[in-house]
Amino acid sequence: MSKLILSLEGSVIREIPLNKERITIGRKPQNDIQIENLAVSGEHARIMTILNDSFLEDLGSTNGTLVNGNPIKKYILQDNDVIEIGKYKLKYFAAAPAAQTTTRTPAEDMDKTMVLRAPAGARTQAAPAGPAAPAAAAPPKPAAAPSLAAIQILNGPGAGRELELTKNLTTLGKPGVQVAVITRRPQGYFIAHVEGKHFPVVNGKTLDVQAHPLNDHDVIELAGVKMGFFLKTK
Amino acid sequence: MANLSASLEVATATHSGMVRSHNEDSIAADAEMGLAVLADGMGGYNAGEVASGIAVELVLTEMKKALAGKAPDELTGKEIERLLSEQAAKANGAIYQAAQSRPQYSGMGTTLVIALWHDNRLSVGHIGDSRLYRLRGDALEQITRDHSLLQEQIDSGMISKEQARYAPNKNLVTRAVGIDPEVEAEVHTYPVQPGDIYLLCSDGLPDMVTDEEIQLTLSSLKANLPLAAEQLVQQANDNGGRDNISVILVRVLKDFPARTGWLEKLKSWF
């Protein structure tokens, strides 16, 4: 669970867990976090928490709300942000992210599509209420690329020319005549037929519609051009 | 009913991904009608599949009924748009009813994208965060705008597009089919050009594969649409495949004007 630490001039006053969907901050006693100071408005700000995301909103306070020194109206809190209200500081600690090495179950749930509804009362709520999952949706990692590879032309006028396979997809051949594609995947390189009556030939064997894995020193024939496939050591 | 099978080429692919055991996406495409429908269901157990299945099936049969016996030029653009809104509303009603009547379906819902090609145009209605992209020339453009918390945050300037890629709350949609008694689809119409390639996809694709990679794949493999569809799914899976992935690709082969007067007929002889 995320939390706030309220402090004044460096000394900690108390810790506030963000365990409610809506937490209000202000001078009046009905606020969840009451700060009795004239620089603080009666209803100063509120924090909406949905699963593990917390949103800070200034409620039109007289002296404003700062986050990391900047005035804000609406703001998505991030770990270690410092909210300033008058002379008071509230430091935000996001829920501990799930360890990436352990089971991925919690992170999975964050990829599951859910509906965020604002029913009549304009109260924001997540529905259906899923299990609280840590806010650890890791950004999509580019898959580990295999070692670098290249294609070298072996015959014809272009003989000796080399083409490094730096993209995930490299097309070879003449559009409209014969085209093949080499795909770079975590498990290695693959060649597949794209268009044309003739299919590419690898080491003397004609491919079918299936993608075919490429090995070091394979020879590819495409529209009369022979090419060697080479893995490069880094 | 117009027959667009000579003007449109369609390829589809759908996969449960690398993590989930169920595929809650549903897709349908019919080149003859010029219709493509994609839905990404949500809800416990198999309710997500049920919701997306109802939506796609219902839209497909209802559209067939609505277009049957109609000459291609009989419906105006506005009428087509209204038709799409009506189908989305019907699907919403059907799913909402089913969810109310059976406890195991309670809270189920789905995203929805309906694309209808007609008279050299494309009308698209959508609800939620499933998308429609267009590749024209070598430029890829996202046509629909997600109904999601993240998109709202981007629009209000709270976060940048770059931050959005790494945001933890990607999965929260602000509009869905079947959750509330009523829902409104966002419907727009765009002119179509021969050579355009349209991509309908569930969020399992763009969450795993960047727009740049989608662009590269479509423009490199546009000569082989089924391969391009398969390749997109494979890339999403190679990058982790954390959600179901569905794609529908539609290529516009040639013009499909609704009105074919004597001049057009004459031209087509030469």
Highest-pLDDT range among A135-144, A170-179, B65-74: A170-179
Question: Once rounded to an integer, what is the mean pLDDT over residues B79-107?
Answer: 93
The alpha-carbon gap from A29 to the nearest alpha carbon of chain B, in Å, equals 30
Cα–Cα distance, B88 to B62 (Å, whole number) = 10
Local structure of A233: helix, strand or coil = coil
Residue A209 burial by CB count (10 A; 0-12/13-18/19+): exposed, middle or buried? exposed
Instruction: Encode B135-164: b = buried (16+ Cβ within 10 Å), e = exposed.
Output: beeeebeebbebbbbbeebbeeebbeeeeb
Contacts 24+ apart (CB under 8 A), A209-214: A211/A183, A213/A187, A213/A188, A213/A189, A214/A149, A214/A182, A214/A188, A214/A189, A214/A190
In degrees and rounded to multiples of 5, residue B105 shows phi and psi of: -100, 0
| B 228-257 residues inside an 8 A Cβ radius of A | 231, 234-235, 238-240, 242-243
Which pLDDT belongs to residue A215? 93
More confident residue, B134 or B22: B134
Which pLDDT belongs to residue A100? 41
pLDDT surpassing 50 at residue B20? yes
Contact B42 A167 (CB under 8 A): no
pLDDT surpassing 70 at residue B1? no
The alpha-carbon gap from A9 to the nearest alpha carbon of chain B, in Å, equals 29
Which pLDDT belongs to residue A19? 86
| A 27-46 residues inside an 8 A Cβ radius of B | none
Local structure of A230: helix, strand or coil = strand
What band does B55 get if pLDDT is binned at 50, 70 and 90? very high
Which pLDDT belongs to residue B158? 83
Which pLDDT belongs to residue A134? 39
Tokens of A233: 């050591």
CA-based nearest residue in chain B for residue A114:
B172
pLDDT surpassing 80 at residue B256? yes
Cα–Cα distance, A154 to B82 (Å, whole number) = 60
In degrees and rounded to multiples of 5, residue A62 shows phi and psi of: -70, -45
Question: Once rounded to an integer, what is the mean pLDDT over residues A41-50?
Answer: 90
Cα–Cα distance, B107 to B52 (Å, whole number) = 13
Contact B239 A140 (CB under 8 A): yes
pLDDT surpassing 70 at residue A90? yes
Interface check for B179 against chain A (CB to CB < 8 A): the answer is: yes
pLDDT surpassing 70 at residue A22? yes
Question: Once rounded to an integer, what is the mean pLDDT over residues A114-126?
Answer: 48
Query: How many other CB atoms sit within 10 Å of the CB of residue B165?
Result: 14
The ipTM value here is 0.82
More confident residue, A93 or B229: B229
Which pLDDT belongs to residue A234? 53
Least confident of A139-153, B89-103, B137-151: A139-153
Cα–Cα distance, A23 to B205 (Å, whole number) = 36
Contact B165 A139 (CB under 8 A): yes
In degrees and rounded to multiples of 5, residue B57 shows phi and psi of: -60, -45
pLDDT surpassing 50 at residue B21? yes
pLDDT surpassing 80 at residue A72? yes
Q: Is the dihedral of CA A151, A157, A159, A163 positive or negative?
A: negative
Question: Once rounded to an integer, what is the mean pLDDT over residues A28-47?
Answer: 90
In degrees and rounded to multiples of 5, residue B150 shows phi and psi of: -60, -45
Interface check for B46 against chain A (CB to CB < 8 A): the answer is: no
CA proximity to A59, closest of A81, A80, A33: A33
Contact B173 A114 (CB under 8 A): yes
A116 contact residues in B (CB cutoff 8 A): 148-149, 172-174
| A 90-129 residues inside an 8 A Cβ radius of B | 104, 107-108, 110-118, 126-128
